[in-house]
Every structure is written in structure tokens, then in C-alpha cells.
Structure 1
Amino acid sequence: MRRLVGVLATATLATTLLSSCSSSDESDGAPDDTVTADAPSTSAPTTGSSGSSGSSGSSESATPTYAGPPKVVGEIATGLAAPWGVAFLPNGNAIVTERDTTKVLEIKGPEHSVDTVGVLSDAVGLGDQGGEAGLLGVAVSPDFASDHLLYFYFSTDHDNRIVKARLAHDRLGPITPILTGIPNGFIHDGGRLAFGPDGYLYASTGETGNSALAQDKSSLGGKILRITTDGKPAPGNPFPGSPIWSYGHRNVQGLAFDDDGRLWASEFGEHTWDELNLIQKGHNYGWPTVEGRGDVAGLTNPKVVWDTETNSPSGLAYLDGHLWLGALAGERLWRVTVDGTTASDPKGYFIGRYGRIRTVVAAPDGRLWVTTSNRDGRGTPRAGDDRILLVRP
């Protein structure tokens, strides 16, 4: 039996772990500046009105300024199946991955037509069994105009891997694996991809429910990786010959760079604390020694922590001085104010209105695309699910 299916024996353990969200700490001489997000009482729900259709509006300013709370102003797409990764092409079209169907979609033009450009048949999804594996993150090459390359993170029957493929004439070409052997499991498969301002590809991995992997620098599980476009360890990585950029992670689900090039990451905790971390080269974020913040020498504290019932953080985007974080179990969109290395004032919006929120990305027009994840085996699908919401920040 395939390894991924074999790990169904851990399903009982997984049930305990699924609702969780966090892991990390710091005691490097820096002051403890971690913010604790209060429970729903301080997360003033704002129910945005959803229109029947929406446009990413190329006529709008690329950096519009909005007053007031965020508002859902339309729907980009409906009837999707657990959309997981979203990335924009230079022409404004978007590439979307569906975790369990392993389809690669392209959402085109102001009409937001949805076309299937490929199916990654090597990917194995476990959504129908409540698992987390499948076709996960996507990133667009910084040189897409000339190389037409897309990068994907997906699960096979024996590993997680990063591959690249050329998109041409509305079809995805053959895939080329660039990094294989990332541990996989029924849960905690990581999967987020993002190109940094340095031109290197950053990838989040999970520890597959085996917490010891997070501290094991000989394993790629429970890490954030930094690699070249050919899958090699990027120059300047902290551990010679290794793709590891940071370690001690439980399951990072969101990566976002701010305007100053700092990398932020959202991370599932276990029973107590979910985290927002500021990622620094070579730092140890503490899992499983610490969940949330602590005072352990050599471990780096999160910048914000949430109780796991109001978060279960997934996708992360940076836009105009704020980080926007999707919550699965918490069924809300969090906004966190960023000032340099400080993150503060977390506020939750749309609480319970759209169900599980998976991915958040900043669109070229200065608005947000936000995906639901109610057809992922853990949500309660509603009419039209899953959908991509257009949010005015």
C-alpha cells in the first residue's frame, strides 16, 4: 500500500493535531515583544457584502488607499474544489491549484474565466480521507516573461517535492522535479512557495506529525527552505550545502515578504498557540521544545500568537503595512499591523461568514484574493463553494 495511505494508521493522532496551530520561541537577548491576540471579543466581526461578480479592475490604482474595515466586494470564481495555491502572472491572470483534484487552473481576464491548463497526475491527494497532502503551493518565475516557468509543491505516494513546468499556449508542459525527498505524511505537509526579492525560491515544509524532524537539520521536514530555480541550496544559506533557511517549525502554511524584504510566516500550533513569525536566517523557531513563546536560549519567539480555536492559520499576504492571514478553524481573515519588525493589533473579519479561509494573496490592483476551503474534507460546503473572494482591504 502506498506510504501516504499507510499513514492512515496515524489518523487518531491526526485528529488531535488537526485543530492545532503553533510552535516557537526566542531567548537571544532580545526583549519579548510577542503580541497575544485576544479571543473573538477583540476581533470585531465585519460582514462584508458579497456581490455576484467581481473584477480585479485594472483601471484602479495599483496602490489604492481605502478607509474603514475590509469588505468583500465580489467573487472571482465559484465551484472550485479546495483551491490551495494562487499566484499571478505578469499579464494579471492567476494560476490556481486544487489540492485534491490536482488540477492547475488559470483565471483569465476581467471576466475571470476559469480554464484547466493541466493536471499533475503524479500528485496524490488525501482530502477525501481528511488528510493534507496533494497539489499545494505555486509560484511564478521572476523571469516568466522569458522562461514561462511555474513552480509547484506537491505530494507523491512517497515524498513531497518541488517541480517546475512551462506554461505555453494555455497548456502546462511536462514537469521537471528540482527538489525531492521532502518528508510527507497524512498531516503537516507544508507546501507554500514564494520567490523572495533576492530571486530565490522559499518553500515551507511540515514535520508530518513527527515532531523530532523539526529539530533535525539532516531532514527537510519542519523547515523553511531557500533554493535556486534548479533546486540547489541557495548561496548564503546558513548551513553549508543545505537548502534549510530556518528550522524548528511544526507546519508553516503561509509565507509573505514585506516592502523591506523581511519574510513572515504563519504556522500551525498544536493545542494552545498558533503563530506569526518573522523569519531570520538560521534561526530555530522552537518546535517541539516550545509551543508559542518561551524563554529558552537559542529559540526565536513568534511576533503574534493566537489560541488555536480562533485561528489555525494558513495563507499569508502583505499589503500596505498589514499582514493578512487566513484562518481555517477560526473561519476569518486576520489583519495585523506591521511596523518594521513589530507586528501588532491583530483584528479578525468575516467571522464564520464564509467558512474556512485557506489562501490570501495581494492582487496586482491592490486588492486581496481570498480562497475558501470548505471542500477540503474538514469544512461544511455551502452553495457555490469553494470560492475566491475579492476583498477591498
Structure 2
Amino acid sequence: MPRAFDRTRWRAALLAVALMLAAACAADESGRPDTTGRPAETSEGGGATATVEGLERLTGPVDVATDLEVPWDIAFLPDGAALVTERDSARIVRVTPGGEVTEVGTVDAAAPRGEGGLLGLAVHPDYPSEPVIYVYVTASADNRILRMSYTEDSGLGDAEVVLDGIPKAAVHNGGRIAFGPDGLLYASTGDAAEQSTAQDTASLGGKILRMTPDGQAPDDNPFGNLVYSYGHRNVQGLAWDDNQRLFATEFGQDDYDEINVIEPGGNYGWPEVEGIGGDDRFTEPVVVWRPAEASPSGAAIAGGALWVAALRGERLWKVPLLTGDADDPVGEPEALYVERYGRLRSVTTAPGGTELWVGTSNRDGRGSPVSGDDRVLRVPADA
């Protein structure tokens, strides 16, 4: 079972469990889902909405869009529509709350292979006065962050390189980008299957990066470069709570996946430590899972909880957020919709904060797609 814990209480117990349990197979986004598979057909939640005092309220997951090709990230625009990246087609599509899907354009620099392709997307925080979007792509020689103008009327403009030289491989490309409450752009990178890069603060691999919208290192970054935190294997989820704490989800290898609270300059242990290490040189995670129940990708915060999309675990994790103790910031995780929609890749809070949009990843070569996959779902944030 997952554990949210204070570090002292759980350290000894989890280390003992780690010695007793056989390692779960977790190579490359934790491999294929368990052979129990999915239901033959998906459900729309037994009724999408309920009327309370004349207001419509979402009561269960419903499809917003279907027949997408590996949707990787979802980013909302001020008008309530969202831009969605497709990893393998390198398309960006615009999806309205009513379910209208329109192709915005294709990012030609993307060279999809394995876990790489067109990955994260972020909208400039001053949009539409700054009508600019950012994407994280696996290109032919590296992973890179690109910037393009975008409006609904004019479509995508030409791509401009904001940052290049991020290590790439068929696996462990990271790929999530997001603007933080400080107005700066954060990017998660993987170790690109070269574990030693994660501990090298001069390398862009195995890191969380922090930069200006132009790709420059802010003066207060801890190492005088773009590196904000290090010792990461493959982070694919970034989310800030109301107290401006940054939470990140991270794939483990054989033993433990993680949720970490990110501090500037923090060393999160990979490859020396996976899960709870009991080593004061490294920052301990606040939640650990076995890979079979998680393989955590996207993350979002809404309704007093951190929501985490799980690939191999085929579920949406709801992790309550606590505010009283900095060393114990989360409650016991709750698993929702287990094996109901297959592999879940992305989760984003919709405008207003009462619902989430969740993207599946069943056509990524490791899932078992059914009719309508891949899809974007609306999910109530009070589930």
C-alpha cells in the first residue's frame, strides 16, 4: 500500500519491507500493466451530472474527447478550452468543454520514439496579452523546450528554441513543463538511462530546471545555472499548492515510486537511493508506492488534494494535503477508478477548480486500448 508518513516514523518500517519484498518489474515507465487488464468497455460514471438548486454538478468521470493518439499534456486557455499534446503524432489539438476537437498544428521538431516525442505544454501566464505557448519535445538529437505564438485565429507560429541540450533516450525523457507562482518556467528532465547524470549538477539530465520565459537562469537558482533540484530518475508531474510548495512525481526503478516536496538545491537521491534511504545527504519522499500500483505521471492540485495520474497502476491517486507540519505535508493516499480507464498520463485542474481533466495513455505501446481510446475525461475534484 502507498504510504504518506513522517520520515522518522516510517523509515525503519519501509526499509524492512523493502528487504522482504521481491522487486517489481518497473523498467521503462514500469512496463505493461498487470495481466488483469481492463473492463471490455468503459463507463461514463452512471450519470454525468446532478442538479442541485438549479446548478449542474459533475458526479463522475465523463468523456470530453475521444480517439486521440497518446495525449501527453493538457493546458487550459483563459476561455476554458484546453490545448492537448499528442506524443506520437506531434499534434497539438484544441479541446473545448463541449468536446469539440480542432487541430492547432504539428510540432515539426518532434522526433517521436519510445517514451519521447511531443510531451509537455505550458501557456504563458500573461496569455492572451502574451499569446505564447511552450512545448517540451524529444528532437532528433536532444530534448528541448520550444516557444511559439498561438491564437485561435492565427494558429501556431514558428518555433523558437528556448533551451536545448537536454539528454534524450528512448526512455526517461522527463517532459513536464509548468509556470510556477513566481512566473518562472520549470521543467522536469529524466536521466535518459544514464544514471550518473542525475547527481551531476552541471548536467541537465535527471533534474528539475527553473528558468525565465526566455530560458535564462534566474539569479537565485542554487547552482548558478538552470538546475533547481537534482538526483531525479524521471519526473513527469509538477504541481504547486496554495502555500507555493512544489510537489513532483517520480518513477522508481524496481522498488519505489515517489512524491517529493521540492526545495531549491535539494538532492533527491537517485541513483544512490530509491524510496526511503535513511541517508541525511538526500531529501526523503513524502509518499512512496510500489511501481505496480503507481508509475506516477501527471500531477495537479484541486480541492485540498494532490491528484496523480498512474500509468501501470491504472488509477487516479488522491493525496490529501495537510498544512500543519512541514515534515508531514500529506495524508493517506486514496486510489480512484482502479483499472477502469487504463493507463492515466495527464491530470490538469480545470478553470474554477471544481473538476480535473485527465488524459489516458492506452495507445502508447504498453496499454490495452478499447473503443474510444485515447480519451480526455472530466473528473470531479471532490471525488
How big is the shift at 1:82? 0.3
Distance change in 2, residues 1:152/1:52 (3 Å) = farther
How big is the shift at 1:49? 5.0
5 Å-filtered alignment, 1:43-62, equals 50=44
Q: What fraction of aligned residue pairs are identical, expressed as a percent?
A: 47
Kindly indicate whether residue 307 of structure 2 is the aligned counterpart of residue 330 of structure 1: no
* Per-residue deviation, residues 350-369 of structure 1 (Å, max 9, x unmatched): 11111000001110132011
Measure the CA separation in 2 of the matches of 1:381 and 1:97: 18
Residue 38 of structure 2 aligns with which residue?
none
The answer on whether the counterparts of 1:53 and 1:75 sit within 8 Å (CA) in structure 2 is no
Report SS of the residue matched to 1:345: coil
The answer on whether the counterparts of 2:295 and 2:312 sit within 8 Å (CA) in structure 1 is yes
**AA of the residue aligned to 2:275:** G
The answer on whether the counterparts of 2:167 and 2:204 sit within 8 Å (CA) in structure 1 is yes
Measure the CA separation in 2 of the matches of 1:220 and 1:197: 22
Distance change in 2, residues 1:149/1:71 (3 Å) = same
Measure the CA separation in 1 of the matches of 2:301 and 2:222: 25
Q: Which residue among 105, 115, 119 is the counterpart of 2:102?
A: 115
Kindly indicate whether residue 251 of structure 2 is the aligned counterpart of residue 263 of structure 1: no
Residue 346 of structure 1 aligns with which residue?
333
- Structure 2, unmatched stretches of 5+, are 1-5, 22-40
The two structures, once aligned, show a CA RMSD in angstroms of 2.6
5 Å-filtered alignment, 1:101-180, equals 101-108=89-96, 110-126=97-113, 131-168=114-151, 169-180=153-164
**AA of the residue aligned to 1:133:** G
Q: TM-score, normalised by structure 2?
A: 0.84
Measure the CA separation in 1 of the matches of 2:195 and 2:163: 22
Report SS of the residue matched to 1:146: coil
Measure the CA separation in 2 of the matches of 1:138 and 1:88: 10
* Per-residue deviation, residues 255-275 of structure 1 (Å, max 9, x unmatched): 000011110000000001000
How big is the shift at 1:278? 0.4
Q: Which residue among 219, 237, 255 is the counterpart of 1:272?
A: 255
Report SS of the residue matched to 1:370: strand
* Per-residue deviation, residues 182-216 of structure 1 (Å, max 9, x unmatched): 00001000000110000000000000111101001
| Structure with the larger RCO, 1 or 2 (CA within 8 Å, 6+ apart) | 1
How big is the shift at 1:117? 0.8
Residue 274 of structure 2 aligns with which residue?
291
**AA of the residue aligned to 1:246:** S
5 Å-filtered alignment, 1:302-321, equals 302-321=285-304
Distance change in 2, residues 1:233/1:388 (3 Å) = same
- Structure 1, unmatched stretches of 5+, are 1-25, 40-46
Residue 231 of structure 1 aligns with which residue?
215
Q: Which residue among 70, 78, 85 is the counterpart of 1:82?
A: 70
Report SS of the residue matched to 2:198: helix
Report SS of the residue matched to 2:332: strand
**AA of the residue aligned to 2:331:** S
Residue 36 of structure 2 aligns with which residue?
none
* Per-residue deviation, residues 251-303 of structure 1 (Å, max 9, x unmatched): 00100000111100000000010000000010000000000011112200000
Distance change in 2, residues 1:132/1:71 (3 Å) = farther
Kindly indicate whether residue 377 of structure 2 is the aligned counterpart of residue 389 of structure 1: yes
The answer on whether the counterparts of 2:296 and 2:310 sit within 8 Å (CA) in structure 1 is yes
Q: Which residue among 281, 284, 308 is the counterpart of 2:264?
A: 281
Report SS of the residue matched to 1:213: helix
Report SS of the residue matched to 2:281: coil
Distance change in 2, residues 1:229/1:115 (3 Å) = same
Measure the CA separation in 1 of the matches of 2:48 and 2:9: 43
Measure the CA separation in 2 of the matches of 1:263 and 1:234: 17
The answer on whether the counterparts of 1:51 and 1:75 sit within 8 Å (CA) in structure 2 is no
* Per-residue deviation, residues 153-200 of structure 1 (Å, max 9, x unmatched): 001111000011000215111010010000000100000011000000
How big is the shift at 1:377? 1.1
**AA of the residue aligned to 2:67:** G
Instruction: Give the total of aligned pairs.
Output: 343
Q: Which residue among 168, 190, 194 is the counterpart of 1:206?
A: 190
Q: TM-score, normalised by structure 1?
A: 0.82
Report SS of the residue matched to 1:181: strand
Measure the CA separation in 2 of the matches of 1:124 and 1:118: 15
How big is the shift at 1:235? 2.7
Report SS of the residue matched to 2:159: strand
How big is the shift at 1:112? 2.3
Report SS of the residue matched to 1:344: coil
Kindly indicate whether residue 206 of structure 2 is the aligned counterpart of residue 222 of structure 1: yes
How big is the shift at 1:121? 1.1
* Per-residue deviation, residues 19-66 of structure 1 (Å, max 9, x unmatched): xxxxxxx9xxx7466797x99xxxxxxx995169979x9x999xx9x9
